[in-house]
Amino acid sequence: MPSIFSRIIAGELPGRFVWKDERAVAFLSIAPMMPGHTLVVPREEVDHWIDLDPALAAHLFTVAQHVGRAQDLEWKPRRIGLLIVGEEVPHTHLHVVPINQPDELTFAHADPSPDLDELDHAALRMRERLRELGRSEVSD
C-alpha cells in the first residue's frame, strides 16, 4: 500500500508543493511547527533514512538546503532547523523548519489545525523565493 506521501506525490491527496524534480518533492507540512515548515520527500518509498541510497540522501539534503535558503530569505529566522524522525509516516522525509529558538523545533509545537489560507500564502512565498534563488524545480 502506498504511503500517504506517495499518494500526495501522485496527486491522489492535496499537497502544497514548492519543489518537484525527478527524485524528490517538497511540500508544506499540514501541521507546521512554524510558518514555512516544509517536508522534503523522495519520490521513492524508503521507510528509514539510513536505508537511502547515498546519492539520493545527498540529493534530499541539497533540496533541503535550497528550501532552507528560501525560508531564510522569507522569514529571516535565527536558524533553519532540520529534523528526520520517520515515526509518523513510514516514508523518509526531512522537516525543514525556520526557527528562532531551539524549542520551536519540536512536534509539541506543531499546529494541528493551521489556517489553510496561511498555508497557501506560505507556499506562494516559498515558491517566489525559490525562483528568486534561480531554482527551476519550483512547483506551480
pLDDT in tens, 81-125: 999 998 889 999 999 999 999 999 999 999 999 999 999 999 999
Residue keyed to cell 522537516: 95
Q: Where would I find the H helices in 33-115?
A: 54-75
Q: How many CB atoms lie within 10 A of CB 89?
A: 16
Q: How many residues does the chain have?
A: 140
- The pLDDT assigned to 88 comes to 87
- The pLDDT assigned to 20 comes to 98
Domain extent, residue 105, equals: 4-132
CATH code of the domain containing 76: 3.30.428.10
Task: Answer whether residue 30 is part of any domain.
Answer: yes
- The pLDDT assigned to 140 comes to 76
pLDDT in tens, 23-74: 999 999 999 999 999 999 999 999 999 999 999 999 999 999 999 999 999 9
Say which range, 75-79, 83-87, 127-131, has the weakest mean pLDDT: 83-87
Number of domains the chain is built from: 1
Task: Answer whether residue 139 is part of any domain.
Answer: no
Is residue 57 within 8 Å of 71, Cβ to Cβ?
no
- The pLDDT assigned to 49 comes to 97
Task: Answer whether residue 137 is part of any domain.
Answer: no
User: What is the reported pTM?
Assistant: 0.97
What type of residue sits at position 46? Answer: V
